[in-house]
């Protein structure tokens, strides 16, 4: 990977271009894989026991897209989705796309008024939800002229069962609807960890280009994969799509609420590859007794969404006896991928577990992803910085969003001369490994220093009595902000706040010391991506 004028540039240049809509692309890949590799299990829901084969998936997409077309869904119409990871969720996605429509996803913890405002904002024609969210969805869209019908996975008052669509006669299955490839196909929402969530517009062209060039050409029939990432988030749905077009055997959990379910599912379903969050890798490493669980099937674990302690990057290999690679990815919904630690193509044939451990760069998110470029700029001057100089991470690739929905000002601030300004602080080393330190908006401003909360959190998690932690700045009239930690203790542990403060202060630099003290709470608020919701923690101290 060359370094050109202080820019990290991918050496992958052969970009594949397609003129298909995302609906025709996904359906075509599913169909061709059935022809070339036969039928097989597509997806099982470990929570309900339900499953579907690839032939059943193909039939379900034909019938559901036909039913939606009969109800008036046309090219560019928006279907809103808010649901747990049920099998019907990707069926809805693929069907809406095949009918030429756009899928807009909402996070699961929204209030009624938020759902209503999003439905109005996008002019949703239909809504797909599940039983746990149906009541507030029905209340939210009541009297909205744009919403014609709400479909529910299961049964709920005021909703049409989603299975009514899947039982359609498929007589009006849309062929190739007249669709502008640069029109909105997938509306994602930013995580909102540092402000109000924004609608991220991806087009048919950007999504198909991304899927076609980021590994979907590698068909892996019957490869057992398991992921718990929420499909309402861009990362979760993207992982599901990539597994689907790879003809893999996918396991999901519609009822996922506790990390223990992760290791129970690995033990039961024996996946080869697992996709989860960094906090869950840390949880596995800290589990007191894993001897009752069989992890021998796992060869690869993929994580993204937030940072992971270097301690657990290596410890996970001890917990998973046959693990070949911990795949760390760095990206954002606005441009899908930025960097990863995947080995070079030339090195993959002879890649071993020993090489994976040896080549691990603690704390790094890897190197620039295919077709991308990264630069580090000075926050104040915008000047490009060199190796080991800390600044804002800026990136570009062919998969950048069209823009923020109805927000040209925010779009212009985010994308400048083709570069996405991530808002992340970081640097690259002399070997072109990229490191993400944290969000600029999350930095604690203590006196003249900028304190990175994740540095303190990583040290706190090394204490044997600590289950989870979130660090914020406690407002102070003299010093600006004082580092303060919210701590969740492990069961039956009783370490005191004074003991924890002493433990941390012996391990961090001067400005990182916990001058704001410690508050014990039952749970650290996190969003579906596993990211700490620091604004929620700040509200606790303001109250």
pLDDT of residue 176: 61
For the chain, domain boundaries:
22-180, 443-542
Query: pLDDT per residue over 397-447, tens digit each?
Result: 999 999 999 999 999 999 999 999 999 999 999 999 999 988 888 889 888
pLDDT of residue 140: 97
**Longest CA–CA separation in the chain, Å:** 72
Measured CA distances, 429 to 366, 396, 455, 477, 516 (Å):
11, 19, 18, 37, 33
DSSP 208: H
Domains 22-180 and 443-542 share a fold: no
Sign of the C-alpha dihedral computed for residues 531, 113, 85 and 334 taken in this order: negative
pLDDT of residue 542: 75
Tokens (6 digits) for 89: 């969720």
Question: ∠321-326-332 over CA atoms, to 5°?
Answer: 155
Residues of the chain with pLDDT under 70: 1, 170-177, 191-195, 215-218, 344-348, 543
Compute, in degrees rounded to 10, the torsion defined by CA atoms 532, 534, 535, 538: 140
Domain 22-180, what fold?
A: Rossmann fold (3.40.50)
Compute, in degrees rounded to 10, the torsion defined by CA atoms 463, 465, 467, 468: -50
Query: pLDDT per residue over 228-278, tens digit each?
Result: 999 998 989 999 999 999 999 999 999 998 899 999 999 999 999 999 988
Q: What is the CATH number of domain 443-542?
A: 3.30.300.30
pLDDT of residue 214: 84
CA atoms within 13 A on the CB side of 224: 11
């Amino acid at each position: 990977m060359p370094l050109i004028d202080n820019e990290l540039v991918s050496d992958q240049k052969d970009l594949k271009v397609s003129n298909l809509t995302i609906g025709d692309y996904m359906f075509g890949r599913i169909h061709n894989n059935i022809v070339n590799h036969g039928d097989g299990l597509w997806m099982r829901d470990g929570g309900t026991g339900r499953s579907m084969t690839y032939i059943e998936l193909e039939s379900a997409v034909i019938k559901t897209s036909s039913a939606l077309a009969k109800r008036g869904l046309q090219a560019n119409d928006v279907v809103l989705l808010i649901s747990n990871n049920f099998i019907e969720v990707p069926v809805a996605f693929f069907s809406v796309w095949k009918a030429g429509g756009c899928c807009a996803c909402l996070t699961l913890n929204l209030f009624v008024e938020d759902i209503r405002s999003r439905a109005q904002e996008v002019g949703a024609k239909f809504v797909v939800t599940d039983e746990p969210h149906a009541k507030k969805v029905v209340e939210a869209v009541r009297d909205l002229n744009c919403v014609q019908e709400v479909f529910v996975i299961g049964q709920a008052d005021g909703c049409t069962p989603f299975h009514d669509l899947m039982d359609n006669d498929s007589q009006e299955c849309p062929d190739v609807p007249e669709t502008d490839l640069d029109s909105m196909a997938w509306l994602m929402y930013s995580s909102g960890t540092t402000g109000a969530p924004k609608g991220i517009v991806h087009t048919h062209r950007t999504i198909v280009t991304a899927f076609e060039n980021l590994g979907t050409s590698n068909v892996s029939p019957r490869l057992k994969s398991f992921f718990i990432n929420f499909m309402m988030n861009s990362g979760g749905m993207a992982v599901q799509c990539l597994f689907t077009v790879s003809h893999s055997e996918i396991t999901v959990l519609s009822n996922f609420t506790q990390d223990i379910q992760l290791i129970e599912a690995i033990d039961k379903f024996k996946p080869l590859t697992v996709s989860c969050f960094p906090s869950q890798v840390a949880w596995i490493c800290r589990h007191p007794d894993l001897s009752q669980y069989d992890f021998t099937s796992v060869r690869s674990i993929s994580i993204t969404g937030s940072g992971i302690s270097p301690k657990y990057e290596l410890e996970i290999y001890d917990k998973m006896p046959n693990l070949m690679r911990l795949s760390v990815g760095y990206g954002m919904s606005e441009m899908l991928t930025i960097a990863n630690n995947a080995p070079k193509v030339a090195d993959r044939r002879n890649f071993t577990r020993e090489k994976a451990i040896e080549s691990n760069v603690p704390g790094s998110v890897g190197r620039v992803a295919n077709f991308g470029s990264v630069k580090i700029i000075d926050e104040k001057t915008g000047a490009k910085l060199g190796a080991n100089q800390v600044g804002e991470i800026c990136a570009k690739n062919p998969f950048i969003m069209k823009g923020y929905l109805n927000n040209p000002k925010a779009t212009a601030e985010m994308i400048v001369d083709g570069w996405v300004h991530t808002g992340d602080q970081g640097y690259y080393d002399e070997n072109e490994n990229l490191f993400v330190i944290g969000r600029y908006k999350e930095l604690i401003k203590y006196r003249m220093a900028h304190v990175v909360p994740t540095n303190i959190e990583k040290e706190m998690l090394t204490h044997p009595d600590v289950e989870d932690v979130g660090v914020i700045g406690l407002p102070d009239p003299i010093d600006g902000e004082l580092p303060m930690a919210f701590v969740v203790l492990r069961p039956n542990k009783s370490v005191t706040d004074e003991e924890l403060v002493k433990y941390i202060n012996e391990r961090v630099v001067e400005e990182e010391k916990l001058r704001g003290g410690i508050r014990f709470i039952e749970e650290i608020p996190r969003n579906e991506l596993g990211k700490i919701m620091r604004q929620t923690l700040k509200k606790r101290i303001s109250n």
